[in-house]
Amino acid sequence: MRILVVEDDARIARDVIETLTGAGYVVDHENNGEEAWFKGDIEEYGAVVLDLGLPGMDGLAMLKKWRASGRSFPILVLSARGTWSERVEGIDAGADDYLPKPFEMDELLARLRAVIRRSAGHAGPSIAIGDVILDPRQMRVTVAGVPKALSPQEYRLLSYLMLHAGRVVPQHELAEQLHGAHEDRESNAVEVLIGRVRRKLGVDVITTRRGFGYVIEAEKQ
């Protein structure tokens, strides 16, 4: 999954990017509010980690503009503005969660996983589709209790489809979530990954909708 980190403190940005990359996310970074707002307005992101005190455009103003234009990706706010009224203002503006500075990286990861799950309609810590269980905390996938060894890109692809179970995900959207902004993308990369994931899982869970994309059907309640 592709995450946009908007943070102008170089040390914090470096630590957050390193942590998110180590947890399997593809990370884009911006340190200017205007540039970050534009990128978030035209690019597809699984989530945004947003500082409020930024040059160019305040983070709260960015948040309001994104929500006003219909951008619905989950947003985790990071800020040294720690008063309860400022937190309420951020949540009311459309933030999904608020993490005051200073913070521990483990808490950042836990809160990010939670807002991503909730935005996709999953309350529990793991996502299960039939015999396939994905545990975002350990970046682990099992099928009928048997662990499956997936590469980072294979894991990102499967997790994105499982998070959005029941929705046909276009190929270009999957490609956006698998690669960073400056990475080269081969035209058939998604098709190749889909084939590898199907073989490794050994179960027919990913359906191809020709001309539309790929879908993992949601389980009926």
Helix (H, G, I), strand (E, B) or coil at 30: strand
220 within a domain of the structure (yes/no): no
The SS3 assignment for 203 reads: coil
Q: Specify whether 164 is located in the same domain as 186.
A: yes
Q: What is the CATH number of the domain that holds 145?
A: 1.10.10.10
Q: At residue 38, does pLDDT exceed 60?
A: yes
Whether 149 and 195 share a structural domain: yes
User: Stretch 35-49: mean pLDDT, rounded?
Assistant: 93
Based on the fold, state whether residues 70 and 19 are members of the same structural domain: yes
133 in a domain, yes or no? yes
Residue 51 tokens read as 């500082």
Q: How many helices (H) and strands (E) does the chain have?
A: 8, 11
150-205 pLDDT, tens digit per residue, is 998 899 999 999 998 999 999 988 988 887 655 555 667 889 999 999 999 988 89
Show the CA angle centred on residue 31, arms to residues 26 and 36, nearest 5°. Answer: 70
The tens digit of pLDDT for each residue in 73-96 reads 999 999 876 567 777 888 888 899
Which stretches of 81-221 are DSSP H helices?
A: 84-92, 105-119, 152-163, 171-178, 189-201
- 111 and 17 share a domain? yes
The pLDDT of residue 185 is 59
Does 49 reside within a domain? Answer: yes
Task: Confirm whether 138 is domain-assigned.
Answer: yes
* Number of domains observed in the structure of the chain: 2
Same domain, 151 and 195: yes
Kindly state whether residue 6 falls inside one of the protein's structural domains: yes
Q: Do residues 137 and 82 share a domain?
A: no
pLDDT the model gives residue 33: 94
Q: Is residue 53 part of a domain?
A: yes
Range of 79-83, 112-116, 136-140 with top mean pLDDT: 112-116
Together in a domain, 111 and 134: no
What is the reported pLDDT for 3?
Answer: 95
> Do 60 and 146 share a domain, yes or no?
no
Give the pLDDT mean for 37-53.
Answer: 92
Closest among 216, 25, 180 to 112, alpha carbons compared:
25
Q: What is the CB neighbour count within 10 angstroms for residue 141?
A: 23
Question: Is residue 106 in some structural domain?
Answer: yes
Same domain, 115 and 20: yes
What percentage of the chain reaches a pLDDT higher than 70?
93
| Structural domain harbouring 66 | 2-119
Q: Same domain, yes or no, for 84 and 133?
A: no
pTM for this prediction: 0.81
pLDDT at 177: 85
Is 206 within 8 Å of 133 (Cβ atoms)?
A: no
pLDDT score of 220 more than 60: no
Q: Which of 87, 119, 151 is the last residue of a domain?
A: 119
pLDDT at residue 183 in the model: 56
Q: Are residues 59 and 107 in the same domain?
A: yes
**pLDDT at residue 39 is higher than 50:** yes
137 with 114, same domain: the answer is no
pLDDT of residue 221: 43
Domain CATH for 84:
3.40.50.2300
